Amino acid sequence: MGKRGYHHGNLRQALVDAALELIRDKGPTGFTLSEAAKQAGVTPAAVYRHFEGREDLIAEAARQGYEIFADLMEYAYQSGQPSALASFEATGRAYLAFARKHPGHYVAMFESGIPITRTPELHAVATRANGVLERAATDLSQHIPEGKRPPPQMFSSHIWALSHGVVELFARGSPGTKSPFPPEDLLETGIGIYLRGLGLVAPDA
């Protein structure tokens, strides 16, 4: 690859990009720092100028992933306005779209074992991403009678878990978990059933 990091003056990002490719192809524990360095076209020693070790490198890949994810969730939320229901449903679909378009980032974020509290920067952007879904849940929950209204954090966590489950089981090619239905349909109908249970969608909608 011709030492792309040195030529472009951004060795740190070249290493992150290399790590993302390796994470996508081999998983977060399936590569070494030496492989990442080779992929980036630099010597292994050069990695340590920017990262303390493989986990540090993966954490930066996760942070960048959360930045993309948070922006995508925010865009989805805004695209549904002024309808609270449309915004909420859009954020669920955005989760699936992100996992498909950015598999390396997705794995670094959710399957690497790197805690979001590893760095203040990672924690801040992960909190921002989750905050978009919570905001959408808060907006939508205002249409539920107060005595029957679940906390927005619970509401959003249920949909996050549903979205994550559909992605993990049916959208990322997990062995032995094929479905006759497209992941998009599974997610949309699952969210619909959940919202009907809360009285937010008419039974015949």
Q: Count H helices, E strands: the chain?
A: 10, 0
Q: What is the distance between the alpha carbons of residues 103 and 128, in angstroms, rounded to a whole number?
A: 20
Report the alpha-carbon angle 126-130-132, nearest 5: 120
> Between 178 and 50, whose confidence is greater?
50
* Predicted pLDDT of residue 118: 92
Which tens digits make up the pLDDT trace of 65-96? 999 999 999 999 999 888 888 888 888 888 88
Q: What is the distance between the alpha carbons of residues 149 and 41, in angstroms, rounded to a whole number?
A: 55
Residues 110-129 have a mean pLDDT of: 92
Least confident of 20-24, 83-87, 140-144, 201-205: 201-205
Q: Which CATH superfamily is domain 1-51 in?
A: Homeodomain-like (1.10.10.60)
pLDDT band of 164, cuts 50, 70, 90:
confident
Q: What is the residue extent of each domain of the chain? A: 1-51, 54-197
Q: What is the distance between the alpha carbons of residues 186 and 191, in angstroms, rounded to a whole number?
A: 9
To the question of domain 54-197 being in CATH 1.10.357.10, the answer is yes
Which tens digits make up the pLDDT trace of 31-63? 888 899 998 888 888 888 888 888 999 999 999
